[in-house]
Structure 1
Amino acid sequence: MMDSSMIEPNATLDASPTLAEALNNDAAVTAVADADAVSAPTDAQSPLTTDLTNNVHHQRWQSYLKDCRELIHLVEPLEVAGRIVKVTGLIMVATGIKMPIGGACYIPLQDGGRVEAEVVGFDGENLLLMPQSAVDGVVPGAKVFSMEITETLPKPQFGRPPRRRAQDRARHFPVGDALLGRVVDAAGNPLDNLGPISTEVTAPLSGRVINPLMRAPIEEPMDVGVRAINAMLTVGRGQRLGLFAGSGVGKSVLLGMMARYTTADVIVVGLIGERGREVQEFIEQILGPEGLARSVVVAAPADVSALMRLQGANYATAIAERFRSQGKNVLLIMDSLTRYAMAQREIALAIGEPPATKGYPPSVFAKLPALVERTGNGARGEGSITAFYTVLTEGDDQQDPIADSARAILDGHIVLNRTLAESGHYPAIDIEQSISRAMHNITSKEHQQAARLLKQLYSRYLRNQDLIAVGAYQPGSDPMLDVAIKKRDQINAFLQQDIDESAYMQACLQQLAQTVS
């Protein structure tokens, strides 16, 4: 583009047309060209007249060039297309287009629809694409177009290309208050038939990294409304815990109780890889209208692609991050972290990554801490994300590789015991195997001593229950066991709680003191 400094300083532009005239009038275009070739003023003209003419000329050309730049900025960029050369299993191979890892693209179909995909790897000049849905209708040589969101790019400055950050290239999804009370899929589309979702506030799936030294420490307890957790496994604001359980021991019911009775400002629920029937049941029966009113539910059930299951977990975390940045205390419930790991395993194996422990490739164990570390407390002055991740243990095996990895990166774990569930003890929390690593920082010495004593009494009884059952124990042999036998029913009643019963923190502490006194 011609710069204003290139114009002859003594040329005149008395008849210069406007930009609109120049674009729509051939005569005006000629006038603009002729104006640039006007001769310099004669010697008879005074210096003052020459200076005025130069200033008018300079201002008009500056205005004209500014209009040109604004018009050029509105022009749609050239769209580059690649083509599909191979489809194998879960992976599509595209050539002729360059995109970064994590970039979004789409393949138009002959029936007018399209298949959206994400770049998950590359092989030489070829891109490896993971589709978000079924690839029915994709033909050999089908075109591939980038879905780069140009609206988020900075406006180009004259004479230099725009700076495009990776975050600017990424797809943005709706976040914020407009999602409260809504149920959406992993792409932010509504599932509840309550109308479209507002897209005024959006964010990418990848959140900002918080300097660990800038994070606020865990200093305050979070009331989750469950007596056994509040009293025995006190959770702090910004803590990340795992809920370790096999199938059918009541983890969904426990999560629903926390969602309904917690004192958090906002609840974000991510249902990842669960059965579709369980999604509806959790929302309508377990969460209920009261819990849904201040919640956002992101559902990526088992029948969606592995990519959408990964995206659903990241989207739920991005929504929680947005509320945290507003200074709110968020409770994030993700069911389950194991399904998230399985989705990453599907993708990694499809692109040729070698399997490791129990078929899980190394990238799985890199993805888990990357997801978990996005939660927790924000910088000082911001809010918090208290997160509960369910971890499925096959056959109640606590040594499963995902369970082992999760236990190492989380701030505590709550184990649900199948034996307790089968005996009708709900919630089936095994206080012997469970621990909250932040409890000693957020509770009083009296609270810690009472919780420790109750745990000792509970454990002592379990160690000797066979002797007690057959009558082999002689009272007086063990003073602590005598107390445990005496208080057994009281302790069990304290640790159990009905699904419709809420237990707030202060009441829990009073009942704990009464139980062990």
Structure 2
Amino acid sequence: MVTPARPAVPAAPAAPAMRAVAVENGADPIDPAILASAGLRWGAVDDSAAGAADGDAYAEPLRQPSQHGAAALDAAPAQPPVPLNAAAAAHAARWRTCIGALGEQSARVLPYARSGRIVRAAGLVLEATGLTLPLGATCLIELPNTLARPVPGGPRVAASHAEAEVVGFNGERLFLMPTSDLSGLAPGARVVPADAGLCGPVEAKRLPVGFGMLGRVVDAAGQPLDGKGPIDAQASAPLGAPVLNPLEREPIHQVLDVGVRAINALLTVGRGQRMGLFAGSGVGKSMLLGMMARFTAAEVVVVGLIGERGREVKEFIEEILGAEGRARAVVVAAPADVSPLLRMQGAAYATSLAEYFRDQGKQVLLIMDSLTRYAMAQREIALAIGEAPATKGYPPSVFAKLPALVERAGNGPAGGGGITAFYTVLTEGDDQQDPIADSARAILDGHIVLSRTLAEAGHYPAIDIEASISRVMSALLDDRAFDKVRLFKQMLSRYQRNRDLINVGAYQSGRDPLLDRAIALYPQMEAYLQQRHRERCGHGEAVAQLTALLGETA
């Protein structure tokens, strides 16, 4: 039996699904995936086939499965291959280029999602319509008309999107506050949820936490700032936290050694206590914080630098905190030039990090500089969305945010870890009656006041012992130790009240025995309160020196 030769290929393909896709002889073959999308595949042809030249490539139609299943497919006769010419190859090459370009563009297109439009931009707040989102949701704002130069002098490239957060709403209008630059924003810009598949409740924003963050410096979004590569985070945590049952918190009954003599002996701090550091500008606040970060007997230190100048952030990390302090610390930096949303987020993130380590059973020292900048950031947001100002321009929401943040610190359940927190509070013109200072004083477990008069006299740390207090100190010390502290404060106060009389020689010795003793011991008392910033004085050493100064009979 003789096998008949393959018939010549007709000019028009017999199969309706066939496509004219080919390449020239010797050209790169078309990607099989592209042929498959056109219903074709590569096939081999005998040189003896009619109409075929040596080396010709053929694309033959893929056999589509029928309703009879795979058996019918195998039984169907194969379609003859189609010879491909140069014109078809050029046409296919053009299609291949277009498909590649479309693929690159589609990678930059946001997935399908509900969207809205920007209808108003005034001050710090944008207004959008056509989109319904809950408070705290993150949005992306398209910047279609923006051309930026990532490198000075380099080519212009199209910017993508700016991130914003929902901070309020009025009817069908959303109030958005951006967290990045909006240069080139145009009316009607498209707004989409950051989660393109958003159709229900928004999940809480989560940021990285874990022991891999020790020794690192990150921004308010958890991105590294120290150039040491990606963050090795073992977990993530939300910015908020459920309220702890106050009856489940472990009481404060252990002394925390902070390494500063005046605080250890005269303003004793307990594990889990929340203290305020009240100071004006330029009185040694950062220096004192650095001493506590290096010397405090804590397993982990979390530092939140909120609203500070960028220069001060680097100075605090490199010079004040130092390598010794950074080894066991995590620094969250949200300087003054970032969005108020990021400043508030930085404070919440630092607290979340401290809570994570506390939940792991660690004793944590949380230092936040400053609580006032956090309040100012909330004031900016509240005023921008139309909240009415109250005391000194601070809306009521500010005074609700402060205790919500501070109450997250403290001890956890019995047998677990604890967070001892120091919050700095800036006093305008050393005014202790500032509304933020007054509110913070009411919700904290004590306050340390730094005096400008002492700082100007070269007295460091410039702690005003008379104006400072630790509310849990009486529960940490026995009666004998507490009596020594009280005697020291009494003599110091008596001397300060009569300083002018003593200086002009108007005081007659013998009229006040306590003042006489204060005059005799004042040089030693003043030296006791001073300490070099590289010097550490433990709690036991501080108490022993106080006992030696006042005598055993004090």
TM range (shorter): 0.7 to 0.9
**Matches of 1:472 and 1:30 in 2, distance apart?**
119
**Which runs of structure 2 are paired with 1:433-472 in the superposition (5 Å)?**
433-472=467-506
Which one has a larger percent helix, Structure 1 or Structure 2? 1
Pick aligned residue for 1:243 from 268, 272, 277: 277
Partner of residue 177, structure 2: 130
- Shift in CA distance, 449/101, structure 1 to aligned 2, threshold 3 Å: same
Partner of residue 262, structure 1: 296
Give yes or no for contact 2:210–2:233 (8 Å, CA) kept in 1.
no
Residues 429-475 of structure 1: CA deviation (Å, up to 9, x unaligned): 00101000011111222221111110011111101111110101111
1:146 aligns to 2:193 (yes or no): yes
**Matches of 1:201 and 1:83 in 2, distance apart?**
36
Pick aligned residue for 2:456 from 422, 429, 443: 422
Shift of 1:115: 1.1
**Matches of 1:292 and 1:257 in 2, distance apart?**
12
Pick aligned residue for 2:165 from 92, 100, 118: 118
- Shift in CA distance, 26/89, structure 1 to aligned 2, threshold 3 Å: farther
Partner of residue 378, structure 1: 412
**Matches of 1:258 and 1:367 in 2, distance apart?**
26
Partner of residue 407, structure 1: 441
Shift of 1:199: 4.4
- Shift in CA distance, 397/25, structure 1 to aligned 2, threshold 3 Å: farther
Residues 385-410 of structure 1: CA deviation (Å, up to 9, x unaligned): 10001000011000000000000000
Partner of residue 3, structure 2: none
SS at match of 2:132: coil
Shift of 1:280: 0.6
Stretches of structure 2 lacking an aligned partner (at least 5 in a row): 1-61, 71-109, 145-157
SS at match of 2:276: strand
Pick aligned residue for 1:473 from 488, 507, 510: 507
Give yes or no for contact 2:252–2:270 (8 Å, CA) kept in 1.
yes
**Matches of 2:508 and 2:228 in 1, distance apart?**
66
Partner of residue 277, structure 1: 311
Shift of 1:26: 7.2
Give yes or no for contact 1:106–1:114 (8 Å, CA) kept in 2.
yes
Structure 2 residue identity aligned to 1:387? A
1:498 aligns to 2:532 (yes or no): yes
- Shift in CA distance, 30/493, structure 1 to aligned 2, threshold 3 Å: farther
Residues 64-122 of structure 1: CA deviation (Å, up to 9, x unaligned): xxxxxxxxxxxx99622222121111001112222111111221333233211111000
1:206 aligns to 2:240 (yes or no): yes
SS at match of 1:298: strand
TM-score normalised by structure 1 residue count: 0.82
Pick aligned residue for 2:131 from 90, 97, 108: 97
1:327 aligns to 2:361 (yes or no): yes
Structure 2 residue identity aligned to 1:418? R
Shift of 1:185: 0.7
Partner of residue 348, structure 2: 314
Structure 2 residue identity aligned to 1:123? N
Structure 2 residue identity aligned to 1:132? T
- Shift in CA distance, 30/79, structure 1 to aligned 2, threshold 3 Å: farther
Shift of 1:176: 1.2
Shift of 1:284: 0.6
Partner of residue 118, structure 2: 84
The runs of 4+ residues in structure 1 deviating greater than 6 Å are: 28-32
1:432 aligns to 2:432 (yes or no): no
TM-score normalised by structure 2 residue count: 0.76
- Shift in CA distance, 486/86, structure 1 to aligned 2, threshold 3 Å: same
Give yes or no for contact 1:149–1:171 (8 Å, CA) kept in 2.
no
SS at match of 2:248: coil
Partner of residue 159, structure 1: none
**Matches of 1:29 and 1:219 in 2, distance apart?**
80
Partner of residue 47, structure 1: none
Stretches of structure 1 lacking an aligned partner (at least 5 in a row): 1-23, 33-75, 154-161
